[in-house]
Chains A and B, each alone.
Chain A
């Protein structure tokens, strides 16, 4: 259960609209079902009162929407950010993707978001979902009510949350948290421990399910190219036809390389993948290697930092050393 109530968000946003601080509000909007939440732009207090939701299904990260939203008018945009979202926010500012002056950030503490796929795996025919401290009560269409442990339904990125601390905000609702000691690299280590054949089989099994819908790329706050090479007919890489089984891997490998040092590990790619491919593992491998080779670095922890990969220092690892240490890890 989230600590801050929905009403606190509605009141805050309505007050800032009323006094003219902001002209629009980016927040989560209620849908047909309790787990169905849409990112939306709100313009009036009535809309906020009617449709804003703040619950365990507000996973969507608004940072990337700010690129488009801040261009729309001169008014400021109010945005609610969870701790992990603020890292993407800072990274986008580092890359000069929008004007900070046009945004009013309210940080919202987060108790972790639920994974809709896990919820659906536990209950068929969902009539309603209610939160009751550390329990989730699911009313089903045919099997009565189920009471489940909230912890068992948490999204992977929330189980392995790296930080409850907001790295950017104008105002904070509730108390700020701390950077956490997460176990987020354990699964990467497990893959590193595989033999090359096992590792290939692991990724083959995962990536062969990819339908190239591009949801992972389009949601990614680090993927903000005006025209992705994969959409550009002039690039020679534009390709909707996976003519052989390597195509999907190439897409994911190129994408992973392109977000190296910029991926904040917000987890949006894995959240949106309709095929439940654990894409975050690719990016985490890079983060782990950077930490290991160049010292710990967290993209988006602050505005303006230079990722080790684009920042030369005389202490940098020599390439051969990286290869040897890479081998030790492999």
Chain B
């Protein structure tokens, strides 16, 4: 484990940014956002960014390719740019887990090479959460806010930043920063971890359980009558899906430019009426079915296809942002039977 005094944080950032593009959570009037580090930028103390870091690997819109039409010939133009190396600093444990959720979708065969390109070039520096929020429930999904995953894991105390490399990518980067950091033991980090775990146990959602949900439970939950009441005031907006770090559905759109086609990929939302619309029309006719889709996907379908892994990471963004305050926690408490009262 290495450490650096917080007084030298700028030097650390500058050293990273000298070779890779560095993104940090930074404060704005309207909440924390990931922005490129530049001289004078300060690290936000906010727990979470408003938009999740999934943008780095799975941007909201992306030009996949163009087609140029001349007479009877169509030329395919590859518009992709080879991604340069970049570093995302300060990713929370929940959001780091979201990358695994996305990986299982985009990196399974056939591999999404656009996604993979960005994933290969990104280094993730995570940060333990000393001040979790009332909306946090990562622990429900077995995520430890005191010990995030990531290429390098950080713990920030009053005066020191502790860094621990967990992967080869992390080791390479940390080795490059060795002149700025010094070797240290793990006692300070362990003390902080104990404090974090004590705090996590006291959170209002600490006892939320996912044990009733999971793989192969489709028939148990699909026809539950409660979906109707749960979804009754849902606006069918895309807020919950767009702020969610794990929502991964997309649509592909072609735009006629007059002399060719521009093909885009963009986020889609199961809450929208046009979602998965097919030639015969739409198979989810009302908001009840659309709403059910989102939560069944997180809690049942995804685990069914991915060795039991849930595709909610408990980040709490949808709890904070849904205009009507309906969310996955309320769904779990309503449908979740014994453990959730």
User: 8 Å CB contacts to B: which residues of A240-291?
Assistant: 240-243, 271-272, 274-276
| A274 and B262 contacting across the interface, CB-CB below 8 Å | no
* In the complex, residue of chain B having the shortest beta-carbon distance to the beta carbon of A39: B233
B325 & A141 in contact (Cβ 8 Å cutoff)? no
Question: Cβ of B131 and Cβ of A239 under 8 Å apart?
Answer: no
Given contacts A32-B329, A211-B60, A238-B274, are A271 and B323 in contact (CB under 8 A)? Answer: yes
The answer to whether A243 and B255 touch (CB under 8 A), given A39-B324, A125-B133, A275-B30, is yes
Interface segment among B69-77, B83-91, B179-187, B200-208: the answer is B200-208
**Residues of B close to A275: CB separation below 8 A:** 30, 50
Contacts of A32 in B (CB 8 A): 204-205, 319, 329-330
A126 to B319 alpha-carbon distance, docked (Å) = 13
CA separation between A241 and B133, bound complex, in Å? 33
A contact residues around B106 at 8 Å (CB): none
Q: For residue A59, which residue of chain B has the nearest CB?
A: B323
Q: Which of B120-128, B138-146, B234-242, B307-315 contacts A (4 or more CB under 8 A)?
A: B234-242
Q: Does B216 contact A (CB under 8 A)?
A: no
Complex contact A215–B235 (CB within 8 A): yes
Contact for A213 among B63, B242, B251, CB less than 8 A: B242
B250–chain A nearest beta-carbon distance, Å: 9
Contacts of B233 in A (CB 8 A): 38-41, 65
Give Cα A40 to B319, complex, Å: 17
Given contacts A127-B134, A141-B134, A243-B255, whether A219 and B30 have CB atoms under 8 Å apart is no
Q: When A125-B134, A231-B274, A276-B31 are in contact, do A213 and B325 touch as well, CB less than 8 Å? A: no
Whether a CB of chain B sits under 8 angstroms from the CB of A33 is yes
Instruction: Give the Cβ gap from B234 to chain A, nearest Cβ, in Å.
Output: 9
Instruction: Give the contacting residue for A240; candidates B50, B253, B319; CB below 8 A.
Output: B253
Closest Cβ of chain B to A244, distance in Å, is 10
* B321 sits at the interface (CB 8 A): yes
Whether the Cβ atoms of B238 and A38 lie closer than 8 Å is no
Q: Is the CB–CB distance between B266 and A274 below 8 Å?
A: no
> What secondary structure prevails in chain B residues at the interface with A?
loop
Query: Complex: how many Å from CA A215 to CA B229?
Result: 20
Interface pair A126/B134, CB less than 8 Å apart: yes
Chain B positions 204 through 242: 1 when the CB is less than 8 Å from some CB of chain A, otherwise 0: 110000000000000000000000010011011111001
Flag A55-66 by CB within 8 Å of B: 1 or 0 each: 000001000010
Complex contacts, B243 vs chain A, CB 8 Å: 211, 213, 274
A274 close to B251 (CB less than 8 A)? no
Residues on A with beta carbons closer than 8 Å to the beta carbon of B235: 215, 218-219, 272
A71 to B: closest C-beta gap in Å: 13
Q: Which residues of B sit under 8 angstroms from A141, Cβ to Cβ?
A: 131-134, 199, 202-203
A319 at interface by CB-CB < 8 Å: no
Question: Quick check: is A144 within 8 A (CB to CB) of the other chain?
Answer: no
> Does A95 lie at the interface of the complex (its beta carbon under 8 Å from any beta carbon of B)?
no
Does B239 contact A240, Cβ atoms closer than 8 Å? no
Shortest distance from the beta carbon of A42 to any chain B beta carbon, whole Å: 11
Contact B61 A241 (CB under 8 A): yes
Complex contact B267–A240 (CB within 8 A): yes
Q: Name B36-56 residues within 8 Å CB distance of A.
A: 47, 50-51
* Cβ–Cβ contact B60 & A60, under 8 A: no
Q: At the interface, yes or no: B268 with Cβ under 8 Å from chain A?
A: yes
Closest to A38 in B: B325
- Chain B's closest residue to A57 (CB) is B325
Note all chain A residues with C-beta closer than 8 A to B277: 233
Cα A242 to Cα B61 with chains together (Å): 7
* Chain B residues near A (Cβ < 8 Å): 30-31, 47, 50-51, 60-61, 63, 131-135, 199, 202-205, 229, 232-233, 235-239, 242-243, 251, 253, 255, 262, 264-269, 272-274, 277, 319-321, 323-326, 329-330
Q: A39-B324, A125-B132, A219-B235 are in contact. List 14 more A-B contacts (CB 8 A).
A: A32-B329, A141-B131, A141-B199, A142-B199, A211-B238, A211-B242, A213-B243, A214-B237, A218-B236, A240-B251, A240-B266, A241-B264, A242-B266, A243-B255
Identify the 6 closest CB pairs spanning chains A and B, nearest first: A272-B323, A241-B266, A215-B237, A241-B264, A218-B235, A274-B321
